Amino acid sequence: MSSFPSSHMADNSLSSNSIATSTYKLSKKEEGEVVTVDEDKLRCRRPLKDIINTELDSEYKELILALPKEERWLSPLRYYRGFWQLQQALPRILAMQEVFMSRPSDVIVTSFVKSGTTWLKALTFTIMHRDKYTFSHHPLLTLNPHDCVPSIEHVYAARDEQYLETLPSPRVLGSHLSYSLLPESIKTSKCPIVYICREPKDVFISFWHMSLRLEGLKEPPSFAQAFELFCEGRVPHELESSPEKILILKYEEMLKDPIDGVMMLANFIGHPFSEKEVKNGVVEKIVEFCSFNKLKELDVNNGGDITNSYFFRKAVVGDWQNYMTMEMVNKLDEITKEKLCGSSFTY
């Protein structure tokens, strides 16, 4: 692949307002056991209502308040580097850009929200650590994928950036930021970036359902209003040429042929399967272990500050057909075509 779609289309008003978080846990291997350390202390994925209600009292306050502003559904948005961002989220983004140092062995998992992020995190973590954990005693049996693969910006939101330094290499880290907003150390290092994208119409429907389940927030807009907000992405499509560093996966293709997708992912991140592993069905076992139904039924994925079940809905292709009018379909298809114009990437 020669292009990198930024948040697939654009960082739009609805999603910029609504990214929600819960908690994360530090896990490590110790004498063959998975140990969860000080869960309460390591709270980095804070509830969205807490982020929104937080006063802007950081060292970046003057810079942030000087940025273009728009009032939206949940909180003011600020226009930063081509993207409308939740005002209270900008301090963590700025701090991350300034401080975060990547390692060559890092693997960065990125996506727009509700595009298969949870599944990709589970697959990547399991592939990279398949020599450490058996399927019967595995961190993903007791931890949500977002706990095993922490979001960089959420760690900075918790003001616990030193936590990332304590993680042993190779680290698997996540982000919902566009390529242009990632720290320079990620873009200039040799660490691979894996980006998963999804049919925009399904992304909207999935995100809409998630937004309806968030607690402690203002009354959400109607379906029609939410659709217009989703379509109001003001960001020109961003293309970055770095085929050796970035792997782009399509959610639909991964669902259709997960075996091929997992093998391609393993090769790209430098953890290919041996002939013996392929012969012994290790790839198939990882696909089954990380399957939507397997993850969704675990107790750990039915709790949390933001209920972890929010990350698991249907995982189907084409659910938009049950909700959207033809006028909506045509409008979003045209926007998608326009945003991807000039690239080899299509949807």
Cα–Cα distance, 309 to 213 (Å, whole number): 10
What is the 3-state secondary structure of 270-281? CCCCCHHHHHCC
Nearby residues of 179 by Cβ (< 8 Å), 6 or more positions away: 4, 6, 110, 187, 193, 238, 240
- Indicate if 146 belongs to the active site: no
Cα–Cα distance, 107 to 342 (Å, whole number): 28
Among residues 138, 146, 176, 237, the one annotated as catalytic is 176
Six token digits for residue 138? 């595995």
Return the H-helix or E-strand segment holding 250. strand 246-250
Give, to the nearest 10 degrees, the angle between helix 326-339 and helix 223-231. 20
Q: Of 263, 335, 340, 258, which is closest to residue 4 (Cα–Cα)?
A: 340
Cα–Cα distance, 117 to 131 (Å, whole number): 23
For residue 174, the cross-strand partners are 109, 151
DSSP letter string over 97-150?
A: HHH----TT-EEEEE-TTSSHHHHHHHHHHHHTTTT-BTTB-GGGTS-HHHHS-
Active-site residue numbers? 176
